[in-house]
Copies of this chain bind each other. A is one copy, B any other.
Amino acid sequence: MERVRVSANVFLPMPVVLVGTRLDGRANFMPAGWCCRANLVPPMLCCGIHRAHATTVGIRENGAFSVNVPSSEQMVATDYCGLVSGATTDKSGVFEVAYGELGTAPMIADCLISMECRVVEIVSLPSHDLVIGEIVGAYADPSVVRNGLIEMAAVDPLLLTMPDNTYWGLGEERGKAWAAGRSLMVE
């Protein structure tokens, strides 16, 4: 295969989440595309957030944040939260707000899945804070829970590709993980 060198600024296709924080005493939400699990037990995730965002102030002040998974139906409101800054615009009324056990991590009651997280560590990278949080509570709409487990496809989550800045739905099922490759195993 022929390959060419391209800009190192490559973006993976990522799930879109809304990060919730308390800012000046009210709830604030920003969409984030750089969020993934970081540890299995206890469950932790990490989010890369540009320090220019007011969200990083809220996370540092409260030591807590939430991660909410919007469905495709919530694309417009989700995108809006990325167009205006919590430093100048009150976004607390965009979604219905709910609090869990932490009390300082506003979650979005309208989202099918929300997680409240306690900050474990913040790694200061040149432009971004890599915020590592322990998921201390998770909440879901019963319609996306089957036998106690979350069925992510039922959430109809948004994926984001860059630099074409496009939102996508989850596509067709392609196979099963830890199973599809068995045909290559030597008996």
Contacts and interface: CB of A to CB of B under 8 A. Distances in A.
12 contacts: A6-B138, A12-B15, A12-B69, A13-B15, A35-B36, A39-B130, A76-B180, A78-B181, A79-B177, A153-B168, A159-B170, A167-B180
Chain A, interface size category, equals 35 or more
Given A10-B150, A35-B36, 12 more contacts: A1-B96, A1-B109, A5-B138, A6-B139, A39-B130, A75-B174, A80-B181, A82-B181, A83-B182, A151-B164, A166-B177, A170-B171
Copies of this protein, total: 2
A83 to B, nearest CB: 5
A149 to B, nearest CB: 5
A158 B174 contact: yes
B127 A130 contact: no
B176 A166 contact: yes
Nearest to A11: B37
Contacts of A103: none
Contact of A165 (B17, B110, B179): B179
A108 to B, nearest CB: 10
A76 B183 contact: yes
Interface stretch (A19-27, A44-52, A54-62): A44-52
